[in-house]
Each structure stands twice: as structure tokens, then as C-alpha cells.
Amino acid sequence: MAIDRTFQFGEDHLTASIALGMAHGSIKGILTDECLQHVNASHQRVQRIVEKGDTVYGINTGFGPLCSTRISKEDTKILQSNILKSHSVGVGDPISTELAKIMLILKIHALAKGFSGIAETTLQRMLWHLENDAIPVVPSQGSVGASGDLAPLSHLFLPLIGLGKVAYNGKIIPTEELFQKTGLQPLELGPKEGLALINGTQFIAAHGVMVVHKLQYCLRHADIIGAMMLEGLQGSMKPFFEELHQLRPFKGNQHVAGRIRTLLQGSEILEDHIDCERVQDPYSLRCMPQVHGASRNAWLHLKELLEIELNSVTDNPVIINDELTISGGNFHGQPLAMALDYAALAASEIGNISDRRIYLALEGNSPGVPKLLMNDTGINSGYMILQYTSAALASENKSLCFPASADSIPTSLGQEDHVSMGSISGRKALNIIENVEKILAIELLTSAQAFEYRKPLKSGVLLDEIHTFLRTKVAFAENDRVFADDIEKGIEIIQNREIIDLVDRVMDEKQLKWNAPHLDEFETY
């Protein structure tokens, strides 16, 4: 992938999209001379603390409950490598290489701010791993999100001292083998360096990056697919009128209502039933702005908090200047843990209301749309059982919505007596979003099937283009078939964001614009 721009670690403002750009290779992260001056100055401050013999946590003391155990000047280097070894206690399947790479990016940025005492050689080696795509293997379980993500970060940086494993050239290999291939040697960590490496919230924050990224696409899909279902079931347009949402001006509600108005602009289907006798639609149709909008607001909250975290110093102790070193709590994961639990609930609700629309489509209560979305039922079950799958996924998501941040189990012999469990919040949120993608794929299939029965009437240009595209992938169903194959194609369309790309392309070609307030806030991250 061609490099579009550079990002200055420790100096530029990091966002989720920039982190993803670096992980995917379109943005190159660099360490400037000015950045390295700050890094080296902080490193020298640590060296002076060691020479003076002042007692400073993590530099010449043990860790956690051993904070009062004094470490000799001679043993401070051994202490730093030992902390990586002893804290590498992660279990479970490894996180994706993409997530581990994002962790590495976030940690380089935090250390490059010059408040952590890290050595330039250590930071340069971390950058080497990123640039050469030698990404450490990080187990998914073991962090309580208290002193940050101790176990995952320890595994992330074991390769610095020649231990652990890395993903390299498509294979998982021991670091020793990587060193043989590249000629690298293990680093000798100096005072404070091991602690600086493993204190921090980069496991939680990396999951936050992926949640912001993937949930935003789920939200965009939900509006598009919900609009298609509204057309298929001949729902009313009035609940999306701007005048209504000016009276309850939540940003998310206004944005969703505006998006759906744009998607339905010029629809013959709407005109065909504008004077029908139905007074109200079920909530899953008419309350899309309120439900999708509430999830949008939750997404916006996470995005704003995550951006603060991505540009923060979260290790401990923090080296402020020559006179001031603070052992505080910037590593505590609570700010993101709670927001990720909120985002998990927001994602689950998108799947929940989508399942209700799927069920609604099967009832046969909309004129012209047959029960179970198929004319010849009895011998055919139609789309009945697809809703079983969406119901199962929606139920699984509800069970995953218990907030991990509501729990705390004291660790470190009581020194860490309140923990965030934010790593679990992040992992659960991603699991929920993956289930929502599948539910939305099923709604895409069922909404397209209902939409078909409105022909020869046309919808707006955007939804008609989407329906035409979908029919190149999944045929209209006149009889039962192995619907799992259709679902897999639907999931692929959702995960590849094909209909979102199609909408963007058609809008450019037709010179259309979203009639949706707060566009920049909800479409950028």
C-alpha cells in the first residue's frame, strides 16, 4: 500500500483512523529529532535519580506490593528484564496481528511524549518491529486493566529482550529465530524501562480503536438497511421529518433521521402509500432515529474519550521534570472501560432492533408482502428460520452486555485494590459487534426480499442501486434453498462494506449530499 502521509510520534494528534492507517501501511510513523530530544532528556532524568540514590517507585524499588523493597544500583537493570518475564502470564488465543500492531503504535506514541524515561534505542527497536512487520504475539486474556494492561504489554515487549514470539512473513516464529534472520540482538533495558513498557492502557485502547472503527460501519449499515426495510414494508416517512427531531434535538437522532430522509429521497414507493389508512408503524420502523441515534450518541462518547486516551501518558511513575516524579494512577483503565461497556450496549441494541425488523417482515401484515417473504409457503418455509439465527445472535449479545467495569477483584496483595476489567470490556464489545454484523446481513437479505415485492415501483436512487447490486450476489428466493450460503454472502458484503462504498460512489456520481446534521462528528474518527 502506498504511503499517503507521515505521522510524528509524540508530537502529532493521534486518532483512531490514523492508528488504523499506520497499522495498514498507508501512514508512516516517524520519530523526529525534537521528539528524541524530549525522550533522551527524560531518560537522563532517570539516570540521575539512580546516581543520586533517591527512592523512586519502579526505578530502584520493587513493583506493586514490593514497592518498599529497595533495589541496588547494580540490580536495577535485572529488575527491568525480570518484570517483563514475570508479568508475561497471558492465556487464551492470541489477539489479531492487527490489534497487536495497533497496541505497538499506541505505545510508541505514548512513550515518545518524553515523560517515561525510555531509552532512544528501545524506542527505535519498537519502531523497527512496526516498520518491518515483526509483530509480537499477545494472548487475549490476563489483564484486569489496573496498572494498565500488564500481561498483554509484557508479551508485546518480550521480543525486545529476545523472548516471546512474533508474527513475521506470514508465520509465527520464536523471537530467537527472528534475530537469526535479521541479525538483531536482545536489548539490555535500563532503569524504569521495563515498567514504562508494561504500564499503560494500550490493550484496552487498541480494542477501543477497533470498536470505534467497526461500530461506526455497523451504524451506517443499520440506517441503510433499515431504510430498505421501511420501503419494503411501506412504512411512513413522517417519523423522520426534521420538524419532529428539532423538538428533541439529540445529535444522533437528528443525524439518523436525516440519513434516512436522504436515502428515501424521490421514492415512488413512499408516494404510492402516502394516503394509506395506517396510522402508526411498529417501533422498530418509526423509532429508528431514537434507537439508532442513541447508539450513535454512545459511539460519539467513546470516540471523544478514546481520542483523549490515545494522546495521553498512561504509564507510571511519570517523570515530569528534574524535581518531580509522580507515582499516580494514569494507567487505570476505568475511563475507557466504562465507555466500552456503553458502546457494547449500543452495538447490541442495533442488533436487537434489527432482529425485530426481520421478524416484522415475516409476519405478512404489510400489503403486497407475503407471510415469511415467499408466496408458496407450506411446502416452503421461506425466511422463517433466518430469524431464528438473528434471535440467537441477539440473545447472545444480551448475555454479553453485563458491564465488565462493574466488577473489581483486588490484585497485587491489595495494592491494586480496585481494577477496571477494561480489557474484558473491549473484547466483549468486539464480540458483540461481530454478531451485529451477522444480524445486519440477515436483515439485508430479508429487506431486499420484501423490497422486491414493491416492483415495478422505484425507491430512491440509492436504495435502488443497492438492491440491484445485491441481486448480483444473492438471487430473489422463490423457493427454499440453503440459506446459510445467502447469509455468508450477506456477511461478506457487510464486512467488506460494499454497500457503503456503493452509496458513496453513487452520491458522488449524482452529486448528492447527506441531508443529515452533525455529519463531521459522526462520519469521522
Rounded Cα distance between 358 and 225, Å, is 11
- Residue position matching grid coordinates 444480524: 439
Supply 79's cell numbers: 529488575
Exposed, middle or buried by CB within 10 Å (0-12, 13-18, 19+), for 78? middle
Distance CA 503, CA 264 (A): 13
Mark whether 168 is an active-site residue: no
CB atoms under 10 Å from CB of 231, counted, come to 27
**Which segments within 64-161 are labelled E, that is strand?**
91-94, 135-136, 139-141
Spatial strand order in the sheet of 165-168: 135-136, 165-168, 171-174
Cis peptide before 456 (omega within 30 of 0): yes
Choose, from 57, 342, 383, 525, the residue flagged as catalytic. Answer: 57
Evaluate whether 432 touches 397 at the Cβ level (below 8 Å): yes
Grid coordinates belonging to 401: 452486555
Q: How far apart are CA 161 and CA 187, in angstroms?
A: 5
DSSP notation for 220-262: HHHHHHHHHHHHHTT--SGGG-HHHHTSS--HHHHHHHHHHHH
Select from 264, 192, 195 the least CA-distant residue to 224.
Answer: 264
**Whether 437 contacts 497, CB under 8 Å:** no
Kindly list the catalytic residues: 57
